[in-house]
Amino acid sequence: MPCDVIVGGFFGDEGKGKIIAYLSLHDKVDIAVRGGVGPNAGHTFVINNNIYKVRMVPSALLNKDTTLMIGAGVVIDPKVLFDEIERFSLKDRIFVDKNCGIITDAHKERDRAKDLKERIGTTASGSGPANADRALRILSLAKDVKELSNYLKDVSDEVNTLLDRNGKLLIEGTQGTFLSLYHGTYPYVTSKDVTASAICSDIGIGPKRVDNIMIVFKSYVTRVGEGELRGELSREEAEKRGWLEIATVTQRVRRAAPFDFDLAKRAIRLNSATEIALTKLDILFPESKKVREYSRLSDRAKKFIEEIEDRLNVNVTLIGTGEDVFDIIDRRNEKL
């Protein structure tokens, strides 16, 4: 009954898309289902120099044998969803829960309000206003949208049935722990909780059904929009270190800071993380680029990984060393 939950450990942008894409291919996942907020978060991953960017569909789409689903807790933008279904030829293998919320143009307009955008730094995707309307019990649901009728499922029933059959389930979280509405740097947060507990609730499985919770940390910290970022570097220094990045959805420059052990320790506690995926090691240690065996890492790269394991008391089982989905050091068997 392998059931793995993948969550972000910092402020999003940790590289979850790459990790999820790798796991779906390597582990031959039967169903990949995403929870989280909505199209305000983007995942990017690369395979054979082809770049994939998604906002609505799970990042497991590269495995053509994996059924893709979106849990009831997610708000969906039908325009974005249909675009991705068409672009990636997913028509026969993606389903949304009948109780997913629906984002409308009116929600996007509210999200573009000057006060909200300037005060919080929203993505203007309409996700926040849609979730606000859901709390008010006035939001339309997927079952109310005729165009979605061929894609509707009871996702909770589907994933629990899969686990009853000992199938492989991959649960995809979005954003990062400290963008959680409850546990993040309020008010500069997203519109709901995005920790592992909430992601499970989004898709409708109980906590006892989860086998592993993998928390994804980048080798440094980045953040888009407003809010605290301890140890923040100047844009010039971030660019000098090669840490300057552009956000997938908003195209805004991400602010950057060194790896924050105190923040990481709190994220592990909030998510009950059982293992760590560490991404972009090659940016911190360029000599590590595209290395796929732990023994071939430099001593200083190994020292950094060992420090993370020692201070956080959780094993680093996946290590990203390049852009490609398969630029990964997989230590899961070694760390059993």
**Which of the following is catalytic: 4, 13, 324, 330?**
13
Q: Give me the pLDDT at residue 120, please.
A: 67
Domain membership of residue 311 (yes or no) is: no
- Residue at 54 is within a domain: yes
Domain span at 152: 16-162+175-206
How far is the C-alpha of 193 from the C-alpha of 183, rounded, in Å? 8
45, β-bridge pairs: 52
Q: Which of 26, 27, 30, 43 is labelled catalytic?
A: 43
Please state whether the peptide bond connecting residue 187 to the residue before it is cis, i.e. omega within 30 degrees of 0.
yes
Determine, yes or no, domain membership for 291.
Answer: no
Please report which confidence band the pLDDT of residue 121 belongs to, taking 50, 70 and 90 as the band edges.
low
- Structural domains of the chain, count: 1
115 confidence band (pLDDT: 50, 70, 90): low
* Cβ-based neighbour number of residue 169 at 10 Å: 25
Would you give the distance in Å from CA 279 to the centre of its chain? 13
- Token pair, residue 165, equals 């059959």
Q: What is the mean pLDDT of residues 255-264?
A: 96
pLDDT digits (tens, 9 = 90+) for 287-333: 999 999 999 999 999 999 999 999 999 999 999 999 999 999 999 98
Please check whether residue 323 lies inside any domain of the structure: no
pLDDT of residue 74: 97
Enter the tokens of residue 195: 């920790």
| Residue-wise pLDDT tens digits, 38-53 | 998 788 899 999 999 9
CA separation for the pair 297, 307 (Å, rounded): 15
- Residue 34: inside a domain: yes
User: Among this protein's residues, is 43 annotated catalytic?
Assistant: yes
Distance of alpha carbon 333 from alpha carbon 218, whole angstroms: 22
Would you state the pLDDT for residue 51?
93
CATH number of 142's domain: 3.40.440.10
Report yes or no on 303 lying in a domain: no
Q: How many CB atoms lie within 10 A of CB 228?
A: 11
Asked if pLDDT for residue 1 goes beyond 60, the answer is: no
Asked if the structure places residue 237 within a domain, the reply is no
pLDDT tens figures, 65-110: 999 999 999 999 999 999 999 999 999 999 999 999 999 999 999 9
Q: What is the mean pLDDT of residues 21-48?
A: 93
Structure tokens at 279: 């991404």
Q: Say if 192 falls within a structural domain.
A: yes
